[in-house]
Structure formats: C-alpha cells, structure tokens
Amino acid sequence: MSKQVRINLSRIAFFGLFVLLMVKGKPMVWLGIFGVSLLAAFLFGRFYCGWICPMNSAMVVTETAAKKMKLKQRNSPKWLESGWLSWVLLVVMGLSMAMLRKLLGVQIPVLFYFLILSVLVTIFYKPEVFHNKICPFGGLLSLTGRFARFSRKVNTEQCIGCKRCETTCPSTAVKVSREDRKARIDSKLCHQCFNCEIICPEDAIAYQKK
C-alpha cells in the first residue's frame, strides 16, 4: 500500500470517527484521543496533525479544491504572525466547553465550529496560517512536538536544495537554508505527513530518530 493511500485511509477513518462522536454528543472522547496524541508527540512527533486531525483532513480537501478553482491563497496577515490567536482560542474553547456545560448544562459543538473555521480560512489563506497561527490544538502540539524523539529528518548529504519539500509542506516545517542550500525539518511544526518524503527527488527524507 502506498504512503499516500495509507495516510488517506487514516484520515478518512478518523474523520468518520470524529463525525460519529460529534453526532453522539461525545466530544470528550475525541479530546481524550487528542490528549493521548499530545503526550505521544514527545516520542513520535505531531502525527495527530497529519494522520488524525479532522480539521487537517477537511483542509487537505479544501486546499485541493481551491487550487483547482485557481483561488489565490494568501500568506498570513501581519497581525496574526506571532501566533497569539491560537492561545486566545484555546482559553475561549476551554472556558466555553467547561463553564457552559457546568453552569447551564449546555454543550456547544466547539470542535465542529473549529472544523468550519479551518475550511473557511483555507479557502482564502495558505494552510500554514490555520495550522501555525490559529489552531489551538496545533499550538499545544508544538509544545510537545518540539521534543519528538522520532521525526521526519533530512539526510543533508543527499539533499540538493531543490526546495520541492519546502513548497509542498503544509506547515512551513521544512526550510532550505540560504547558507548551505540544505533542507532541515523543525519537529515543532512537522505533521509527520508524507508530502516532503514523497516529492523529494533524492529520497533524502525519512522518519527516524532525531
């Protein structure tokens, strides 16, 4: 089974599970899956983003459609650059889920709202804007993912600096250095998807111990 098929099957399966849990009113089960993935990122990196996250799965489809329709996807606006919004949204999400449920017995489908937001943002902006500047789950995963023991890594001896990996990365995790024209991957941002590995003409990228 090809790498692309494997990751797509995982995305479809988890998207189905997400929808099922939302319909059944069990968002806490999904947050449990996220919690386990958050801790696992210390070891294996942010595989939640690439393989599990329903927002990313919806964004992949949206981005493909936007490209087909030749929509112009913009870079991050200056006011979002520092990433403050993801932390504000994390607090708002936590409070609204906990307080409203406790005080009023109301359960707001916050996760579903984030899914809609991720699609809307991706229609107008490059995917890294949502992943790195807006998503509260991405913000949390960047805290544990930076310590990942295993991650996608570039063999700099094989790298020819063609930048194909940089162009295909959904989260600006891989950059080609101006000094030595070699690509390097930042596990804090890397979703552990296969995009760069598949596109690299030199087979220079692999998942391995950092």
Name residue 125's beta-bridge partners.
74
Nearest to 89 by CA among 124, 136, 123: 136
Question: Judged by CB, which is closer to ligand SF4: 60, or 159?
Answer: 159
Residue 45 C-beta: closest distance to ligand SF4, Å: 8
Between 110 and 205, whose beta carbon lies closer to ligand SF4? 205
**Single-letter amino acid, residue 71:** L
- Give min distance, CB of 98 to ligand SF4, in A: 31
Decide whether 112 or 166 has the Cβ nearer to ligand SF4: 166
172: left (phi over 0), alpha (psi -120 to 50) or beta: left
CB of 164 to ligand SF4, least distance (A): 4
**Geometric angle at alpha carbon 49, from 177 and 43, rounded to 5°:** 80
CB nearer to ligand SF4: pick between 38 and 174: 174
Nearer to ligand SF4 by Cβ, of 11 and 21: the residue is: 11
Q: What angle do CA 152, 158, 163 make, to 5 degrees?
A: 70
Q: What is the distance between the alpha carbons of residues 114 and 10, in angstroms, rounded to a whole number?
A: 20
Distance, in Å, from the CA atom of 174 to the CA atom of 196, rounded to the nearest integer, reads 8
Residue (97 or 174) nearer to ligand SF4, CB: 174
What is the binding site for ligand SF4 (CB under 6 A)?
152, 154, 159-165, 168-171, 173-174, 176, 183, 185, 190-193, 195-196, 199-200, 202, 204-205
Tell which residue, 195, 65, 204, 56, has the closest CA to residue 137: 56
Q: Least distance to ligand SF4 from the beta carbon of 91, Å?
A: 26
- In the bound complex, what is the minimum distance in angstroms from residue 58's beta carbon to ligand SF4? 17
Nearest to 73 by CA among 113, 112, 119: 119
The distance of closest approach from Cβ of residue 132 to ligand SF4 in the complex, given in angstroms and rounded to an integer, is 11
